[in-house]
Structures are given as structure tokens and as C-alpha cells.
Amino acid sequence: MLVKEAIGFERFRDPKSALGLSIRPEVEAWIAQYKFEYCCKINDNNTIDCTGFFVFNNHDITEFPEYIRFNVAHDGFSISKNKLTTLRGCPKIVKGDFYCYSNNLKSLEFAPEEVGGGFFCENNAVLFTEDDVKAVSKVGEKINVINKY
């Protein structure tokens, strides 16, 4: 306990930030790599807010890098047609539609807590049900879990 207090750790604070090591350059580089500067804003806690419709489809990723953590998507958020096995890093709140269909998801853990529009999660490794979606997310409109496999 004394060590934590002596170097300024705070509960829920990013450990690198607590030590004076920022992950911000890594977050900035990722945003620049995919040319999302127009729609992404990095918050003081290094989470990302999306001001426009965020589309990250067809990139063949299995997960977001550990330093990528979205906070709020003020429009829609689409991460479909990848090879995602986890939703870690997804926004807590999506004010529009949330698309995560055609991935390799086995769980909806880390799904947005709130989705203002529709939630589209069909064609994943698991055949999710509406109840599965409702257990993790408050959805304002349509839930699409129809699987085409």
C-alpha cells in the first residue's frame, strides 16, 4: 500500500499514466494509421470518443490493441467483417447503431452498455439471442441476431 501511495496510483487510473508514462502516442498513432483523425477525439484518460459514424470493417483483426479503448460513439459504430474474438475496447455508449456481425465472437462481454439505435450481431461463432444482447446492453431499437450460416 505504501508503494502505491508513494508513486501516486489512483483507483481506475491507467497505470502507465500513474507512472508518468503515457499511452497517448500509441493511441494517436493507431488513429493516424487508419485515418480516423476526422472522427476520433482522445480524452484525457486516453479513451476515444467518436464524433462521426465509426467504420472499421474488413481489417481481419482478432482484437483491438490493448491501448485502444473507445468511450462514446456519438453516431454509429461498425466493426463488422473482421475476425474479432472479443469486443474489448468497444465504446461504453453508442448513440446510433452498433454493428459487430460476421466476426468470430463467442461472447458479448465488453459490448456497449447502451446502444441508442439497433444492435446487429449476427453471423458470429456463437448464435446469439435477443436475450443475450439484452443481458449486456440496453438497446433503443432493433436487435438483429438472425444467422445465415
User: Tens digits of per-residue pLDDT, 54-78?
Assistant: 999 999 999 999 999 999 999 999 9
* 26 pLDDT more than 90: yes
**pLDDT, tens digit, 9 for 90 and up, residues 29-58:** 999 999 998 899 999 999 999 998 999 999
Residue in the block written with cell 473507445: 70
Q: Read off φ and ψ for residue 71, nearest 5 degrees.
A: -110, -70
The answer, yes or no, to whether residue 105 has pLDDT greater than 70, is: yes
Q: What is the pLDDT of residue 11?
A: 54
CA 94 to chain CA mean position, Å: 9
